[in-house]
């Protein structure tokens, strides 16, 4: 179906693709793994016609794609690409993106066709998407924007034969990811679709691919059947040292009795009804890591926002009376493009903007202190960049790590984590979990929302939200992914909890 032959790509001194060769057969699902900055997105964009290669050949169904390649040529040969970064227009409606993607299709009847096509794809992929084709993109949640972006990439008049998905589930909860993979399998079985999947969520790549290709520093280093792969093996293939910790889900730990927990309460929420939340109560103590679980859009992010807003001077009355936070707050967003990064600034400035007062004397930043601070973080969480690089030249996972460093370096009393590991590779995740634990040991309270259930096992306690209410509080002894899933579904859902 696809043959990539000796493809090279450089950005200045960075070798993003180094003699990459790869074959994908009809109906095959192939996972591409690799550390942040290994060159996965670059390869995807070269195949999809977004980025030009310096050398090498791309052959689809026996036909060589031109160089410079174009999106149109790639699409005409049946190749579609869903990007890692959300590339939608906030001020356009959902269906209008179908027209924007291919202006040659815009004629008198296009609006009706576009609405029908995007709805059909969304319904087929994500039965519970809740997205109206008429909605403005700005009104959609990050997960909805991700669903829309994937569905949009598959709207094609002549059908798709190879679908490249770059981090498709990074903002999707486990149940939405399950829907997506069910769709992909159906398309493969019925229409022979080939799929290339790039994902840092271990469950995605280990459970849903026939073969795994590992890239390291721009080159393909391993190509083996996924059935032969373990998490440890994958990390070794990706270049992790043999003694690196694995972020594997631990067993439920011993139950602890916290009735005599005397640590200070940092976050106290009681009777909070705001946006989608109904009478929510929760606490986070100093040194505690508390997770928020539940199905997509059941109030988790509303709760994070309410806690964050409680420190604002102007805040809704309902938050004022229901939420108190003692001490300073730092916030790490997973929606890096919209609410995290300063796109015109360097890596270093993006990182230190939250700690400038501690890096200054007499109101002026001391460059030595700043560069010491940034180089320490760049090393600690393996950011593949230097402090002076522009943030936009970093790979997605490396951009996300800069935001993590910004939040952690503030050593706040409360650290709010809003899916902070979106697109961060598994080797770094293990190290970052350890750093979070260090922060907590130093007294920081951590409130953590994640779209990946296994990540919740890193927490001391987890609140499960269901339709805006706290449906369960799981303490360390009861904390398993099964318990989380069970508490996420309502009693009336038919069997979803066990599927």
Ligand X SMILES: Nc1ncnc2c1ncn2[C@@H]1O[C@H](COP(=O)(O)OP(=O)(O)OP(=O)(O)O)[C@@H](O)[C@H]1O
Which of ligand X, Mg ion, none does 334 bind, CB closer than 5 to 8 A by kind? Answer: none
The residue from 31, 41, 149, 355 that contacts ligand X (CB under 6 A) is 41
CB of residue 338 to ligand X, shortest distance in Å: 18
By Cβ distance, which residue is nearest to ligand X? 397
Partner that binds at residue 393, options Mg ion, ligand X, none, CB closer than 5 to 8 Å by kind: ligand X
Which residue in 20, 30, 37, 83 binds ligand X (CB under 6 A)? 37
Q: Please identify, among the stretches 33-41, 64-72, 244-252, 259-267, the one whose residues bind Mg ion according to the rule CB under 5 A.
A: 33-41
Residue 337 to residue 223: CA distance in whole angstroms: 33
289: contact with Mg ion by CB under 5 A? no
* Using rule CB under 6 A, residue 168 touches ligand X: no
Contact call for residue 374 and Mg ion (CB under 5 A): no
Nearer Cβ to ligand X, position 144 or 199? 199
> Is position 374 an interface residue for ligand X (rule: CB under 6 A)?
no
3-state secondary structure the chain: CEEEEEEEEEECCEEEEEEEEEEECCCCEEEEEECCCCCHHHHHHHHHCCCCCCEEEEEECCEECCCCCCHHHHHHCCEEEECCCCCCCCCCECCHHHHHHCHHHCCCCHHHHHHHHHHHHHHHHCCCCCCCCCCEHHHCCHHHHHHHHHHHHCCCCCCCCEEEEECCCCCCCHHHHHHHHHHHHHHHHHHCCEEEEECCCHHHHHHCCCEEEEEECCEEEEEEEHHHCCHHHHHHHCCCCCCCCCCCCCCCCCCCCCCCCCCCEEEEEEEECCCCCCCEEEEEECCCEEEEECCCCCCHHHHHHHHHHCCCCCCCHHHHHHEEECCCEEEEECCHHHHCCCCCCEHHHHHHCCCHHHHEECCEECHHHHHHHHHHHHHHCCCCCCCCCEHHHCCHHHHHHHHHHHHHHCCCCEEEEECCCCCCCHHHHHHHHHHHHHHHHCCCEEEEECCCHHHHHHCCEEEEEECCEEEEEEEHHHCCHHHHHHHHCCCCCCCCCCC
- The answer to whether 199 contacts ligand X (rule: CB under 6 A) is no
Q: Does 84 bind Mg ion (CB under 5 A)?
A: yes
- The reply to whether 201 sits near ligand X by the rule CB under 6 A is no
When binding is defined by CB under 6 A, the residue of 24, 39, 188, 455 that contacts ligand X is: 39
Give the one residue of 7, 20, 30, 38 binding ligand X; rule: CB under 6 A.
38
Nearer to Mg ion, 35 or 301 (CB): 35
Q: How many chain residues interact with ligand X (CB under 6 A)?
A: 21
**Which of 144-152, 336-344, 396-404, 451-459 is the region at the interface with ligand X (rule: CB under 6 A)?**
396-404
Does 11 sit near ligand X (CB under 6 A)?
A: yes
Q: Does 334 bind ligand X (CB under 6 A)?
A: no
Q: Which one of Mg ion, ligand X, none interacts with residue 450, CB within 5 to 8 A by kind?
A: none
Among 115, 395, 451, 481, contact with ligand X (rule: CB under 6 A): 395
Question: To the nearest whole angstrom, how small is the minimum distance from the Cβ of residue 107 to Mg ion?
Answer: 36
Query: In the bound complex, what is the minimum distance in angstroms from residue 36's beta carbon to ligand X?
Result: 3
With contacts defined by CB under 5 A, name the span among 78-86, 203-211, 215-223, 265-273 that binds Mg ion. Answer: 78-86
- Could you say whether residue 396 binds Mg ion (CB under 5 A)? yes
Q: Is 300 in the site for ligand X (CB under 6 A)?
A: no
Q: Which parts of this chain interact with ligand X (CB under 6 A)?
A: 11, 14, 16, 34, 36-42, 84, 384, 393-398, 423, 425
Q: Which parts of this chain interact with Mg ion (CB under 5 A)?
A: 41, 84, 395-396
């Amino acid at each position: 179906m696809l043959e990539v032959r000796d493809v090279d790509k450089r950005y200045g001194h960075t070798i993003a693709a180094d003699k990459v060769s790869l074959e994908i057969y009809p109906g095959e699902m192939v996972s591409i793994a690799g550390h942040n900055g290994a060159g996965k997105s670059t390869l995807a964009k070269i195949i999809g016609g977004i980025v030009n290669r310096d050398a090498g050949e791309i052959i689809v169904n026996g036909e060589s794609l031109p160089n410079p390649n174009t999106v149109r040529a790639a699409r005409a040969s049946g190749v579609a690409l869903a990007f890692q970064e959300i590339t939608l227009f906030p001020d356009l409606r959902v269906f209008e993106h179908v027209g924007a993607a291919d202006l040659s299709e815009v004629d008198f009847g296009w609006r009706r066709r576009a609405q029908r096509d995007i709805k059909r794809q969304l319904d087929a992929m994500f039965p519970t998407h809740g997205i109206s084709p008429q909605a403005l993109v700005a009104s959609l949640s990050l997960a909805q924007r991700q669903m829309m972006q994937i569905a949009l990439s598959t709207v094609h008049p002549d059908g798709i034969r190879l679908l490249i998905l770059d981090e498709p589930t990074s903002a999707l909860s486990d149940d939405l990811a399950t829907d997506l993979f069910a769709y992909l399998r159906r398309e493969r079985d019925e229409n022979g679709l080939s799929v290339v999947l790039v994902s840092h969520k271990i469950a995605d790549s280990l459970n849903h691919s026939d073969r795994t290709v590992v890239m390291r520093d721009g080159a393909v280093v391993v190509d083996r059947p996924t059935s032969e792969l373990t998490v440890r093996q994958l990390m070794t293939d990706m270049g992790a040292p043999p003694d690196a910790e694995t972020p594997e889900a631990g067993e439920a730990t011993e139950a602890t009795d916290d009735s005599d927990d005397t640590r200070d309460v940092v976050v106290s929420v009681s009777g909070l009804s705001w946006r989608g939340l109904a009478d929510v109560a929760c606490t986070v103590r100093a040194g505690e890591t508390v997770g928020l679980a539940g199905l997509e859009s059941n109030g988790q992010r509303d709760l994070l926002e309410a806690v964050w807003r409680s420190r604002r001077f102007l805040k809704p009355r309902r938050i004022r009376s229901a939420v108190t936070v003692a001490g300073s707050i730092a916030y790490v967003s997973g929606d890096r493009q919209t609410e995290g990064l300063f796109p015109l600034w360097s890596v270093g400035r993006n990182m230190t903007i939250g700690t400038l007062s501690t890096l200054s004397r007499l109101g002026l930043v001391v460059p030595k202190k700043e560069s010491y601070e940034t180089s320490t973080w760049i090393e600690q969480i393996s950011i593949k960049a230097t402090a002076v690089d522009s943030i936009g030249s970093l790979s997605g996972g490396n951009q996300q790590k800069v935001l993590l460093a910004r939040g952690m370096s503030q050593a706040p009393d409360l650290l709010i984590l809003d899916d902070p590991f979106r697109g961060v590779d598994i080797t770094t995740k293990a190290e970052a979990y350890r750093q979070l634990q260090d922060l907590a040991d130093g007294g920081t309270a951590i409130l953590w929302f994640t779209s990946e259930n296994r990540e919740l096992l890193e927490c001391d306690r987890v609140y499960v939200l269901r339709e805006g209410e706290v449906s369960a509080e799981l303490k360390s002894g009861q904390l398993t992914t099964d318990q989380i899933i069970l508490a996420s579904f309502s009693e009336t859902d038919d069997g979803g909890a066990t599927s």
